[in-house]
Amino acid sequence: MAPNKEPDKGKELLKIEDLHVYFETAKAYIKAVDGVSLSVREGEAFGLVGESGSGKSVTIKSVIGLIHPPGKIVSGSIQYKGQELTKISSRQYYEIRGNDIAMIMQDPMTALNPVMKIRDQIKETLEEDIHMSEKDITERAVHLMKLVGIPAPERRLNEYPHQFSGGMRQRVMIAIALSRNPNLMLADEPTTALDVTIQDQILKLLVSLQQKLGMGLVLVTHDLGVIAQTTDRVAVMYAGRIMEMTDTVTLFKKPHHPYTIGLMNSIPSKKLAGEKLDPIPGLPPNMAHVPPGCRFNPRCVYATDECRQGEIGLREVAPGHVSACIKDVR
Ligand SMILES: Nc1ncnc2c1ncn2[C@@H]1O[C@H](COP(=O)(O)OP(=O)(O)OP(=O)(O)O)[C@@H](O)[C@H]1O
Ligand SMILES: [Mg+2]
């Protein structure tokens, strides 16, 4: 990969280098993540965007030790504050999860325990490493509920997940994720399961918390609108690889990779502006049989023979802006 001269926004929090995560099943060998490198700085909101199956979830699950057989981190490095995570034990991971790195999932209902009051779920997370008095737990839980904008927290703490609306449940999930003051928050499509109006509120909440608490954030989404609204920098993934990575303003002003340009042309906000929606023709590849050369080449209108040979690596097209396209099609 070409040297990436990122703006010096603070110390490096997370550094992923040449990560390969494969799934080996009886039927197929799937290279779900195939040579991903990225870094996230302290206090930075980093977006990971791409179509379904591009490897976004597998990438962030690798960071938090949630790749289980038949999945395997085959090679590469993941460092959190300089500590290599791919070599640590599950016990060490247990300590890092929650304390340093927290994750919010797409569907809060499956992540919450339906038969446990919210207070007890927060208590469980808080007490994973230190014993706290009941009074301190209630105080901390009320503080967290207020932080995420849940009204009447004292009363609501004694309710069960089904008594909360979808948006409120996601706020509870964020409160639980924040309970042990993580430095890095991983959010995997945190608003996809919610109504559009609620999605916006939750995203605004996430960004305001990230800024207020100075956390690093990795936000996974297939929605470029969400990226524009929330992130400082962004990586565009396609078929297990990063196609383009730069700061968010540059990505929207001067996208370089034809895949990014294709995604931009297919976002619904263009339709609102009266333009025709222009989806990318074709489908992402079957990950068991990725095409040779640039993985996007079968769908790319600019593809030539050169694009069908060898793996196309990232190159620097402007300071801090890398793209895995050998052409300059803008
Ligand atoms: N447990 C598994 N077994 C086999 N293959 C898997 C498994 N989990 C993920 N994969 C494969 O890895 C690839 C990447 O999956 P991943 O879940 O990271 O995609 P994604 O970008 O998060 O997509 P989405 O937007 O749909 O959530 C997919 O091709 C998927 O089929
Ligand atoms: Mg996913």
Please tell me the residue having the least CA distance from ligand 1 atom 25: 52
What pairing do the DSSP bridges indicate for beta strands 83-84 and 71-80?
Answer: antiparallel
pLDDT exceeding 70 applies to what percent of the chain?
94
What count of other Cβ atoms lies within 10 Å of the Cβ of residue 190? Answer: 28
Q: Which residues contact 276 (CB under 8 A, 6 or more apart)?
A: 270
Q: Does an H or E element contain 106, and which?
A: none
Is the confidence at residue 122, as pLDDT, over 80?
A: yes
Please tell me the residue having the least CA distance from ligand 1 atom 13: 32
pLDDT tens, residue by residue, 91-104: 888 888 878 999 99
**Stretch 219-242: mean pLDDT:** 95
Q: Which residues contact 84 (CB under 8 A, 6 or more apart)?
A: 77, 78
Instruction: For 275-305, give the DSSP string.
Output: PPP-PPSS-PPPTTSPPSSSTTGGG-TT--G
Please tell me the residue having the least CA distance from ligand 1 atom 11: 32
Give the closest residue to 122 by CA, choosing from 154, 144, 105, 102: 144
What are the extents of the domains in the chain? 43-57+90-100+182-323
Please tell me the residue having the least CA distance from ligand 1 atom 22: 57
Distance 52 CA to ligand 2 centre (A): 7
| Lining residues, ligand 1, CB within 6 Å | 23, 25, 30, 32, 50, 52-58, 70-71, 222, 287
Question: What CATH fold (topology level) applies to the domain 43-57+90-100+182-323?
Answer: Rossmann fold (3.40.50)
Average pLDDT, the chain: 90
What pTM was estimated for this model as a whole?
0.92
Single-letter residue type at 109? M
Better pLDDT: 160 or 132: 160
Distance 105 CA to ligand 2 centre (A): 10
Q: How confident is the model at residue 12 (pLDDT cuts 50, 70, 90)?
A: very high
pLDDT tens, residue by residue, 240-290: 999 999 999 999 999 999 999 999 988 766 555 555 667 788 999 999 999
